[in-house]
Chain A
């Protein structure tokens, strides 16, 4: 009691915190990293369990009869797709009508801000086809969605076949309490975005679409299917959605429960779970799985068609069939593909039983394997330990600023004299760095035409290279502006600026981590050391190199290499660079097409904040 109210004790505490500030900060950093690495250690994690009563205890019996017919439908679909050279809209409408669904179409068009070289598209026009199975004796207030993208080439035909097969079977059942919408979307995520915007009658991204003619009430859950081969060895569930949002954990639990029941191999991040958690390789397997999830989440991209549902508070996941675990194939030949149908059927029947939206289980979690998860209460301390460094440094700076530097009679007057130019010397770099950030946000897309005229590059390259150029130019630009305003940089001046910058970073990272833990944590991991130990007095060249290496852009570069490494697809430096460029262009496209927030966050907030520290480094 009275630790803070008693002035003596408070002074003692503060003096201890300032004296031991650097060691405590280092300790916190190490503890944060260790805590994070420990999250994947199985005894520290929780086992997944079904929280939702409506899906847990009630039993459903799956009895989907005809897998062969669905395969035949898939082949028919493939043939029509080839004939039309795109989405066979008429055939799909006719087929769905024959299965007794109410069928509607929606056409959409979108001009991308710059050409997407990965998918080779610029002006996108397409049509979504969806059929609604009306639940008998239900008032059209709730719906479930099953979607399959109509992909170019031979991809995903089997998913459409499965969708139509299930539609046929589901239509003959009486037990549905929610409308089921079977959606085949063209141009994968763009089509999905158009459909979801049409369904909710919103327009967040400036896409053109025709209004929907049929609806089924509020969508409770959605699954997206991706299947590209007749033989599959395992099923993978993809959870990461737009801006790092995740569906309720119960959806993953449901998937796992049915995989167990039906006896299908299931994976997350394409990785099987292992039972040897106590061995080094087992632990590293879990760490790698979790790291993959962290990096995918941090990217803020929708990693499947489901990712766009999450914005509308619709729990959604993508289930994709994988044909890679050859060693297990023998186990599956006896059961065959109808397992997959029964799995999806079972999941829909359980979702159909829901009385409420999925809300019982976690929305914030990390999964080191499909059977174990780390909840927000366990992973947040890892971030908290990093964030507390910033607060400790801020406290230290505050104490230094408040304590009179010289014990003269007119010390107070001196401080006042010093602090009045201090405000301007803080404001100027703040404004300049934010203007640089705004330039980084606006210039790449708006000046692409000019760049293409003057340099021999494609539009996409122009956008990315402009971004990199603005980013690099920002390093040279603002670091001595304060001298123009206030003459020679003062001791007080950089302290005040650093105090502001440290608190700014703490708030920024704290908010980011609450929304997207992975992004917040990765940024904290690289930016906190820089922020904590920067002063104008450290050796310039060496620190500048460290600074650049730990800057957000380089963090992204390392993440690209690490991600490839974790996926067992290591790349050479050359390919890595190309990948890096494409990742940046994809990030910008995600922002313009789907409203992903990572690009504006980095450009408008994180990068300017980092520039402030860069400014402090070159204060004198």
Chain B
């Protein structure tokens, strides 16, 4: 083992020239939820000081996965965000997630401005990603791809915000399972051999209420001058374990109970390896839940505009593992109330009406803030076989017509492209805003039906982006679990 560690930097020196620094960090954030469920969020970050832009040939890889690096170079990708989700995030019970993701697969990519034929590159890219992640991303074609005009902003450094280089697509019917998890784990420097990734056992991860895994690639600034970019690969995995089905109704969670493993070491390649437990709701030690073993390390961080307090376990310190040389965190609840949360902003959507001839899509957006109104951007991408009657579009809040200040609508073309509807809507304080639009089901050719036609068709999720004003300013030199996503 020691020999291996000694050899590795030598190879780097020989072939890489040494000037390309890379860095790997891993984190696990655990948030006990009001409902008695528990939310575990893994974050793995690889940061590499290299430049894929402007046709640079990058041939030596250390921590950064080569398969993704080649994808970035070949397709001139500036940013890539892909998520696979099985389940539905229950905002009313769980609050806001660290990373929102719709059910099924979601992919959005910013290309570099050197790309001439974006659609062809996009098509090729989805096919390659389909192979890398063992997913049906090859079903992404022009009929489910849109170019949002306002809803998505580049999350890394970007001087290009021309939406011609943005593509967004969802596959709501995509089912996520172990076959997608395995290639995702292989992208990690330590695989699932060491570090936090040993907890990622599929038999437990898929015995849960919610499972979401994502990969985000974006260029970052290396320093404050931002002369040269570095590339960040962030792999996240979110999972919620259910009190009743996984916890046997007992309000006691441990690493072993959640993942059927305990931790014994950090990933040797990681510069930082930490576990954060959200104890904001537990101001007095042991008031709501008890944490065993206790840790003196506390960290304040701003998450989603909200100041949270975390207990920190540093896996790089031997003392964390104690005398038994294994860490099995135990969270024991003292009391819970199963009442529903009233999150500041949440939304739901359903289809109204019956029969096959007509229907109506209702989108309800709740603003529960007592005195503050919010502007939100609503993005709807509806397949062409639902013919939207855009003249029936109504936006009402508190029984009154609410005129959107910005509407971007692109009508569908049969068998070519979907409807795209983007609206900037002002949500008045303490209100429900209802967006309705009627549709008709188009007559399909018999070959156009999916297998199991009586199952029905899926319409992808809407995306609601809001700027949530926060009293706490974003702090830059803080922990990595904070997401920089502006989309809700």
Q: Is B207's CB within 8 Å of the partner chain A?
A: yes
Contact of A312 among B209, B246, B354 (CB under 8 A): B354
Interchain nearest-CB distance for B172 vs A (Å): 7
Interface stretch (choices A136-144, A535-543, A550-558): A136-144
- A54 nearest CB neighbor, chain B only: B452
Docked-complex contact A355 and B249, CB < 8 angstroms: no
* Contact partners of B104 in chain A: CB under 8 A: 139
- For A458-481 the 0/1 string (1 means CB < 8 A from B) is 000000000000000000000000
Q: Is B92's CB within 8 Å of the partner chain A?
A: yes
Interface stretch (choices B64-72, B222-230, B345-353): B345-353
* Contact partners of B456 in chain A: CB under 8 A: 141, 218, 357
Docked-complex contact B88 and A139, CB < 8 angstroms: yes
* Contact partners of A172 in chain B: CB under 8 A: 244-245, 248-249
Docked-complex contact B87 and A136, CB < 8 angstroms: yes
Q: How far is the CA of A138 from the CA of B458 in the complex (A)?
A: 13
* Contact partners of A102 in chain B: CB under 8 A: 90, 92-93, 340
Q: Is B184's CB within 8 Å of the partner chain A?
A: no
Q: Is B428's CB within 8 Å of the partner chain A?
A: no
Docked-complex contact A356 and B452, CB < 8 angstroms: yes
Docked-complex contact B208 and A356, CB < 8 angstroms: no
Q: Is B283's CB within 8 Å of the partner chain A?
A: no
- B175 nearest CB neighbor, chain A only: A137
* Contact partners of A100 in chain B: CB under 8 A: 243-244, 338
Contact of B208 among A137, A140, A201, A359 (CB under 8 A): A137
* Contact partners of B458 in chain A: CB under 8 A: 141
Contact of B87 among A97, A138, A359 (CB under 8 A): A138
Docked-complex contact B454 and A357, CB < 8 angstroms: yes
Q: Is B206's CB within 8 Å of the partner chain A?
A: yes
Q: How far is the CA of A137 from the CA of B245 in the complex (A)?
A: 12
- For B237-252 the 0/1 string (1 means CB < 8 A from A) is 0000011111011000
Chain B 58-96 residues near chain A, CB threshold 8 A: 86-88, 90, 92-93
- A139 nearest CB neighbor, chain B only: B103
- For A169-187 the 0/1 string (1 means CB < 8 A from B) is 0011110000000000000
Q: Is B211's CB within 8 Å of the partner chain A?
A: yes
Q: Is B210's CB within 8 Å of the partner chain A?
A: yes
* Contact partners of A574 in chain B: CB under 8 A: none
Docked-complex contact B350 and A173, CB < 8 angstroms: no
Q: Is B362's CB within 8 Å of the partner chain A?
A: yes
Q: Is B360's CB within 8 Å of the partner chain A?
A: yes
Q: Is A350's CB within 8 Å of the partner chain B?
A: no
* Contact partners of B172 in chain A: CB under 8 A: 139
- For A192-208 the 0/1 string (1 means CB < 8 A from B) is 00000000111000000
Docked-complex contact B452 and A355, CB < 8 angstroms: yes
If the complex has contacts A138-B87, A215-B348, are A171 and B244 also in contact, measured as CB distance less than 8 A?
yes
Interchain nearest-CB distance for A178 vs B (Å): 12
- For A318-358 the 0/1 string (1 means CB < 8 A from B) is 00000000000000000000000000000000000001110
Chain A 240-275 residues near chain B, CB threshold 8 A: none
Q: Is A313's CB within 8 Å of the partner chain B?
A: yes
Q: Is A19's CB within 8 Å of the partner chain B?
A: no
Chain A 134-159 residues near chain B, CB threshold 8 A: 134, 136-141
* Contact partners of B355 in chain A: CB under 8 A: 313
Q: Is A311's CB within 8 Å of the partner chain B?
A: yes
If the complex has contacts A102-B340, A357-B454, are A136 and B208 also in contact, measured as CB distance less than 8 A?
yes
- For A71-113 the 0/1 string (1 means CB < 8 A from B) is 0000000000000000000000000011010100000000000
Q: How far is the CA of A318 from the CA of B352 in the complex (A)?
A: 25
- For A298-315 the 0/1 string (1 means CB < 8 A from B) is 000000000000011100
Interchain nearest-CB distance for A596 vs B (Å): 16
Q: Is B455's CB within 8 Å of the partner chain A?
A: yes
Interchain nearest-CB distance for A325 vs B (Å): 38
Q: How far is the CA of A218 from the CA of B356 in the complex (A)?
A: 13
Contact of B245 among A174, A355, A357 (CB under 8 A): A174
Docked-complex contact B209 and A201, CB < 8 angstroms: no
* Contact partners of A202 in chain B: CB under 8 A: 352-354
- B211 nearest CB neighbor, chain A only: A137
Contact of B209 among A134, A218, A311, A313 (CB under 8 A): A134
* Contact partners of A140 in chain B: CB under 8 A: 88, 103
* Contact partners of A139 in chain B: CB under 8 A: 87-88, 103-104, 172
Docked-complex contact A137 and B210, CB < 8 angstroms: yes
Highest count of chain A CB atoms <10 Å: which of B206, B210, B340? B340
Q: How far is the CA of A141 from the CA of B174 in the complex (A)?
A: 13
Highest count of chain B CB atoms <10 Å: which of A136, A141, A202? A136
Contact of A174 among B87, B207, B243, B455 (CB under 8 A): B207
* Contact partners of A312 in chain B: CB under 8 A: 354
Interchain nearest-CB distance for B237 vs A (Å): 14
* Contact partners of B352 in chain A: CB under 8 A: 200-202
Q: How far is the CA of A136 from the CA of B210 in the complex (A)?
A: 7
Q: How far is the CA of A357 from the CA of B355 in the complex (A)?
A: 14
- B209 nearest CB neighbor, chain A only: A136
* Contact partners of B348 in chain A: CB under 8 A: 215
Interchain nearest-CB distance for A106 vs B (Å): 15
Chain B 336-371 residues near chain A, CB threshold 8 A: 338-340, 348, 350-355, 360, 362
Q: How far is the CA of A51 from the CA of B104 in the complex (A)?
A: 30
Q: How far is the CA of A218 from the CA of B352 in the complex (A)?
A: 10
Q: How far is the CA of A98 from the CA of B454 in the complex (A)?
A: 36
- A313 nearest CB neighbor, chain B only: B354
* Contact partners of B350 in chain A: CB under 8 A: 201, 215, 217
Q: How far is the CA of A137 from the CA of B206 in the complex (A)?
A: 8
- B35 nearest CB neighbor, chain A only: A100
- For B155-192 the 0/1 string (1 means CB < 8 A from A) is 00000000000000000100000000000000000000
* Contact partners of A215 in chain B: CB under 8 A: 348, 350
Q: How far is the CA of A171 from the CA of B453 in the complex (A)?
A: 30
- B92 nearest CB neighbor, chain A only: A102
* Contact partners of A173 in chain B: CB under 8 A: 245
Q: How far is the CA of A100 from the CA of B242 in the complex (A)?
A: 10
Q: How far is the CA of A215 from the CA of B351 in the complex (A)?
A: 10
Contact of A356 among B87, B243, B353, B454 (CB under 8 A): B454
Highest count of chain B CB atoms <10 Å: which of A137, A201, A359? A137
Q: How far is the CA of A97 from the CA of B339 in the complex (A)?
A: 8
Docked-complex contact A201 and B245, CB < 8 angstroms: no
Interchain nearest-CB distance for B351 vs A (Å): 7
* Contact partners of B454 in chain A: CB under 8 A: 356-357, 359
Q: How far is the CA of A141 from the CA of B103 in the complex (A)?
A: 10
- A97 nearest CB neighbor, chain B only: B338
Contact of B353 among A97, A134, A138, A201 (CB under 8 A): A201
Apart from A136-B242, A201-B350, A357-B454: 4 A-B pairs, beta carbons within 8 A: A102-B92, A137-B87, A173-B245, A201-B360
Q: What are the 3 A-B residue pairs with the smallest beta carbon separation, nearest first?
A: A201-B352, A139-B103, A356-B454
Q: List 12 A-B contacts (CB under 8 A).
A: A100-B243, A102-B90, A102-B92, A136-B209, A137-B208, A139-B104, A139-B172, A141-B458, A172-B244, A173-B245, A201-B352, A355-B455
* Residues of chain B whose beta carbon lies under 8 Å from any beta carbon of chain A: 86-88, 90, 92-93, 103-104, 172, 206-211, 242-246, 248-249, 338-340, 348, 350-355, 360, 362, 452-456, 458
